A and B are shown apart, each in its own frame.
Chain A
């Protein structure tokens, strides 16, 4: 398959099929409805199952079931729908079940709006569910990166036996872009799913898929085991891109659609002789703390840019560890800034630092 023009939601759906997804359970919500619509039309041609559940909650529990049976499984939704799925997600993290979950973010809180947003950052990276758990979360910035990551995400989920979330804003879901679905992505070495409940055939003892541990010592042991896994993920899976860092005076931290606007702003700033770099998290959990160690000595401050009133900024402050002043620029509610607004925020911050 050569390069094609696809809408974000369609491309994500096709990427899931290419990534070996064999079951999809979901429920429509703007701005991600084309994703289940595409899979409804195409999943069966690839030997997979598409099922529209009666609600988001039903869908995530179907994901739990299919994953427990060892299938490569996915669901998708948008912000308020992802909020509904949180119970199922923490159950899956507790039961160590892999799945890919796509969140095409829209404005909140509550029903919010239907225009693009990054205001789910904390919901995604901290989890809306209970207990000591995380989901691995990718936040790509264009369609090519998104489809590559989705194809890889099924391996990542299987490797760590943990839900993986792809968090994109509504603009990435809705926009058209040329994309090649057949670019090779790294393959992980995966163990056989001996934990899957697919029948013992009289050859092994039954296995349990479960997140209930009534013995406190048992639950503590389980939680520390999970913590150990999360530490491995923090060590191995941080992903980020550093742009324009040489001699930079200021570093902008931005992801997703916001990082694309920032790239345009950087070009303009560069023409004016103002050197600004971009630290772009590709994983938002684990947050790319390692990238902050690569920030050059020339940098005098960090500007966090988000499509929210300021959520990732807390992770930026933790990673920065008090070293540099941290500023913020954000638009929210579905408002998307033009590069000029970023340029002004950069100049304001640099002015204050001098």
Chain B
């Protein structure tokens, strides 16, 4: 039985100096056999396990993670959540996730610190203005809140932006999604892990998948560093390493894995109370509750699994940040890191069955997977449990690269991929 977190449990545990809190999840050894195994213990994988147990009554399942849970891209992203995508299929997918985010802390009894502080996207040239207006209209037709802002309105919403017409790429306007915002990335993984564990899901850390066993065209189990696990359903949610796992099953995916970098500054007092993204000059910035500026840089153009990335990418982003926010010119950066993102040719994800029975892939989220975590888990769980996609993820099948029915969000998604 899982104890509920509340103000009373806080007081009760304060009396014993917070030394007797219940473990949030167990640390079990793998069983011989499961009804389904999720490969990858990041936010998406843990959410998938949570919804498999909660909505589809599949409790005899496991999540296997080669490191520790939430230690990959879940702990490396810039925590931006929004749903202002251009195409209908994407709007449906990302707004489904945003709606779950709105009640997630209550549902999980775990504070994911979801903060609807708004996300503003800036326009710096005539084409940006046209694209942003088009997207605003498309969003509103899909029932997603979006407004177009003039330069003055941008300045009013975020006063520290330099809106002078004299800068190299002046701010000509912007869009705002007020329901968008940020959340605490680690808490999402921990909250889902705790919730899934309470329903009987085994979360097995430090357990790397080494092979996928097939009998003809059906999955029979997985070889791991903790032994063989028998199962007929394997859901792979391995982000940057999706191609590596696919290769074990003899599949090829339309993915390239590239380093994406982010950095945070020293903590300062509150100075920016929203998220501002600029596609054209590639500068994303928000401020964490600790006071650090959280800055997203771009991807490198070569395949790499090193979690490093190139210096000039960070330099380019900081140049843009300094021009847009001269107030930050004396700030020092505290940490920089990279994550490996799996990018699809159309910059949309894959949530799909494969040609192998019982093998499912949830990958290709590229540079923007965090925002979709709850929706991705919910829809992938539906796909695994029913062996059929939900109508919201039907368009994100692997076959679209054969049929040509791509969901081309390159540049359309208000962000450079």
Q: Do A and B come from one complex?
A: no
Which positions in A face B, CB cutoff 8 Å? Answer: none
